[in-house]
Amino acid sequence: MGRLLDVVAPPRMGGAFRWNLASSWVAQVGDGIALAAGPLLVASQTRSPVLIAMAAVVQKLPGLVLGLYAGAVADRVDRRRVVLTANAGRIAVLLALVVALLTDTLSVGLLLGLLLLVGTAEVFADTGWRAILPMIVRPADLGLANARQMSGFLVGDQLIGPAVGAALFALGSAVPFGVHVLALLLSVGLFTRVRLPVVERTAPDQHVGRDILDGLRWIAHNAPVRTLTLVILVFNVTWGAPWGVLVFWAQERLGVGAVGFGLLTTASATGGIVAVLSYGWLERHVPLARLMKACLALEVLTHLALAMTTVWAVALAVMVVFGGYAFVWGSLSSAVRQRATPQDYQGRVGSVYWVGLVGGLLVGQLLGGVIAERFGAAAPFWFAFAGAGLTLVLVWRQLDHIAHADAGTTPPDGAPA
């Protein structure tokens, strides 16, 4: 067991990272349970497509509305306290949901309100957590640290959690949310073992809005991070277009049903697991700029392949490749951004990155629906191929500089050296 732990989280990464990783993995399982149980609960309360869609919107909306504010808060106050407070709020809201279900007092309006509160708490918890990782891991290990965190997302949130959540919902609508509460309590307990380096903070001398503007100005004047943020935005718009209508494309182009579509999404998760487990080897043997270029080039070719194919087996293989490079890119791009960002800007810069990611996906999904309705199921993939391909051509040479855009800062006192 000790040897396995050393492989997953090498001793050089420190005890704080190990506790943080364990906390994250447990929370991801709980989130995965809710990922399946949430839509089932909404569908049991209403058959209105508008209200069902609204349930998804109210959970995403806080990220767009409050994302930048949450980033500024994470740079102003103790980030550990931000994470603990936000997760305590999530637990309180979920307990209220469980009580409403057990007492049969849940209404659609109350459910939407509770989902909005959960989404709000998640914004602050996730923003604080993203800003903590560079505090406890030395810059050279940030890529591996992000990959290990993503492995928890893939296994807990995407594979194990949803299956468990659906099974628990069959036992009773309150059961999966009660288990989610238990998972969050355990996650919080593990996170309390995380000890952060001491950071002296002075009382804020300006409005939080100025903090947000300072963060945006920092990005605007840092060419590598600015370009990386724009790449993230554009590539999520282009990927969001076909991803939003993926089930429609699978039915129309591949002729598959629910099982065939489910296997496509499972294939991408499988590729992702292989990728994050091999990330350390890749980072040691492949230059970072070459790895970034390879990931983005594979993205462009994925769009082309899925636009052209009508064969399910080919699409399945492409989705495995997609899962592989997508999670390598996610780990690498996060590490590059974190290395290039000073500690006191991690929250704000990370929040801009995240808002761009979520906003890009939402815009892309809206565009994809319009494009598919007008030009057919394959058209969103052609749009994605053209948009991503043009963007890659424009930033190709800059990726050499972006890959090594280091802030030049040393780890804070108490962080692993």
Residue 120 to residue 138: CA distance in whole angstroms: 30
Tokens matching residue 298: 């594979």
Nearest to 307, CA basis, from 384, 386, 383, 381: 381
Q: Annotate 373-396 with b (16+ C-beta within 10 A) or e (fewer).
A: eeeebbbbbbbbbebbbebbeebe
CATH T-level fold of 208-402: Growth Hormone; Chain: A; (1.20.1250)
User: Is pLDDT above 60 for 261?
Assistant: yes
- CA distances for 311 relative to 49, 296, 315, 330, angstroms: 31, 24, 6, 28
CATH architecture of 2-191: Up-down Bundle (1.20)
Residue 413 pLDDT level (bands cut at 50, 70, 90)? very low
CA dihedral 22, 26, 31, 36 (to 10 degrees): 130
Residue 366 phi, psi dihedral angles, 5° rounding: -65, -45
Residue 200 pLDDT level (bands cut at 50, 70, 90)? low
User: Is pLDDT above 90 for 378?
Assistant: yes
**Mean pLDDT over residues 202-210, rounded?**
73
* pLDDT at site 184: 97
- Per-domain boundaries in the chain: 2-191, 208-402
The model's pLDDT over 300-328, given as tens digits with 9 standing for 90+, comes to: 999 999 999 999 999 999 999 999 999 99
**Do 42 and 99 meet the contact criterion of CB atoms below 8 Å apart?**
no
Residue 69 to residue 409: CA distance in whole angstroms: 25
* pLDDT at site 202: 59
User: Is pLDDT above 80 for 406?
Assistant: no
Burial class of 80 by CB neighbour count within 10 A (0 to 12, 13 to 18, 19+): middle
Residue 5 to residue 205: CA distance in whole angstroms: 44
**Mean pLDDT over residues 121-149, rounded?**
93
**What is the residue whose two structure tokens read 């990611």?**
357
* pLDDT at site 174: 96
Residue 414 pLDDT level (bands cut at 50, 70, 90)? very low
**What is the residue whose two structure tokens read 């980072």?**
283
**What is the residue whose two structure tokens read 């490079």?**
325
**Do 414 and 197 meet the contact criterion of CB atoms below 8 Å apart?**
yes
**Do 299 and 388 meet the contact criterion of CB atoms below 8 Å apart?**
yes
Long-range pairs of 250-257 with CB within 8 A, sequence gap ≥ 24: 250/315, 252/376, 252/377, 253/309, 253/310, 253/377, 253/378, 254/309, 254/310, 254/311, 254/312, 254/315, 255/310, 255/312, 256/312
Residue 248 to residue 244: CA distance in whole angstroms: 9
101: alpha, beta or left, given left = phi > 0 and alpha = psi -120 to 50? alpha
The model's pLDDT over 340-371, given as tens digits with 9 standing for 90+, comes to: 999 999 999 999 999 998 889 888 988 998 99
